[in-house]
């Protein structure tokens, strides 16, 4: 049986997605993209920033949709998610300043500094990303830690993060590059971000523990 996605209701598409049909969520994305973009841009937000908010809203929704009590209210729900994404962006504009620091090449042409971008984006919930990332030698420490975390990720997680975040491709472009549905891109991005944050936080605790041990040794030696 061939599914007519374009004629399906939001309720049907939500149900199909929950049952494992990634193309159903992609249709929801296409169906409501223009409306969501106009909604966010009505808050005096530029096109690129609005696109970022909408993509973030849909990326989070792709796994949380199963918690929606009534699928027929998907449009209302995704609108609220776009609003929340807009608020998050508004509160965390400081992380953009950090990103601009790390987006340039070093004197030796080394582009590995771009790998810090996922850390900047993924740690935007921290109280003050500028203070945690931009103090002297901490930049190099965070960069080394980021590279270490990337190596610990599985191949698919590294692929999706590098293609979409590091290389700054849109979800649509990433889907074409990796030859997978856009709904799958959103789903993988969500899980890959979560994996990255979990591993990063664990490794950061280890680094802090090492620093504490070294400090104790120095104090005992003095």
For the chain, give the mean pLDDT: 76
> At a CB cut-off of 8 Å and minimum separation 6, what does 104 contact?
113
Classify each residue of 186-198 as buried b or exposed e, where b means 16 or more C-beta atoms within 10 Å of its C-beta.
bbbbbebbebbbe
Backbone angles phi, psi at 95, to 5 degrees: -65, -25
Task: Give the C-alpha distances (Å, rounded to integers) separating 4 from 8, 45, 130, 166.
Answer: 6, 34, 48, 35
Report how far residue 209's alpha carbon sits from residue 222's, in angstroms, rounded to the nearest whole number: 20
On the question of pLDDT at 91 being above 70, the answer is no
C-alpha–C-alpha distance, residues 198 and 165, integer Å? 17
Residue 184 has pLDDT above 80, yes or no: yes
- Average pLDDT rounded to a whole number, residues 190-196: 86
Task: Grade residue 31 by pLDDT with cuts at 50, 70 and 90.
Answer: very high
> Per residue in 119-165, pLDDT tens?
444 444 443 444 433 443 455 566 677 778 888 889 998 898 888 87
Q: Could you report the per-residue pLDDT of 195-214, keeping only the tens digit for each?
A: 888 888 888 888 878 777 77
Q: Are the beta carbons of 78 and 32 closer than 8 angstroms?
A: yes
3-state secondary structure of 70: coil
DSSP string, 155-222: HHHHHHHIIIIIS---HHHHHHHHTS-HHHHHHHHHHHHHHHHHHHHHHHHHHHHHHHHHHHHHHHH-
CA-based nearest residue to 159, from 196, 128, 124: 196
Residue 82 scores a pLDDT above 90: yes
Beta carbons of 189 and 173 less than 8 angstroms apart: no
In this prediction, residue 218 carries a pLDDT of 67
- 28-42, 174-188, 196-210: the lowest-pLDDT one: 196-210
**Regarding predicted confidence, which is higher, 101 or 87?**
87
Give the mean pLDDT of 66-73.
Answer: 89
Q: pLDDT at position 7, please?
A: 84
pLDDT for 138 equals 55
Q: Which of 31-35, 93-97, 213-217 has the lowest mean pLDDT?
A: 93-97
Which domains, ranges and CATH numbers included, belong to the chain?
Answer: 5-91 (1.10.1740.10), 94-221 (1.10.10.10)
Return d(Cα 24, Cα 5) in angstroms, integer: 7
Residue 194: per-residue pLDDT: 85
CA nearest neighbour of 133 among 103, 157, 104, 101: 101
The encoded tokens of residue 138 equal 């901490």
Q: How far apart are CA 76 and CA 32, in angstroms?
A: 11
Q: What is the pLDDT of residue 93?
A: 57
């Amino acid at each position: 049986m061939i599914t007519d996605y374009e004629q399906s209701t939001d309720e049907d598409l939500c149900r199909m997605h929950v049952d494992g049909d990634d193309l159903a969520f992609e249709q929801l994305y296409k169906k409501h993209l223009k409306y969501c973009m106009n909604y966010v841009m009505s808050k005096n937000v530029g096109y690129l920033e609005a696109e970022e908010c909408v993509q973030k809203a849909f990326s989070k929704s792709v796994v949380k949709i199963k918690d929606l009590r009534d699928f027929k209210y998907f449009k209302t729900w995704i609108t609220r998610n776009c609003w929340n994404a807009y608020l998050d962006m508004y509160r965390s504009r400081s992380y953009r300043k950090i990103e601009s620091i790390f987006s340039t090449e070093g004197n030796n042409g080394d582009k590995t500094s771009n790998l810090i971008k996922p850390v900047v984006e993924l740690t935007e919930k921290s109280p003050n990303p500028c203070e945690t990332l931009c103090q002297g030698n901490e930049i190099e420490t965070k960069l080394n830690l980021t590279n270490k975390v990337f190596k610990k990720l599985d191949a698919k997680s590294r692929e999706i993060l590098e293609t979409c975040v590091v290389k700054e491709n849109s979800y649509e472009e990433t889907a074409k590059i990796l030859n997978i549905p856009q709904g799958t891109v959103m789903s993988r991005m969500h899980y890959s971000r979560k994996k990255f944050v979990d591993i990063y936080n664990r490794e950061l605790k280890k680094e802090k523990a090492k620093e504490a041990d070294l400090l104790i040794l120095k104090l005992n030696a003095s």
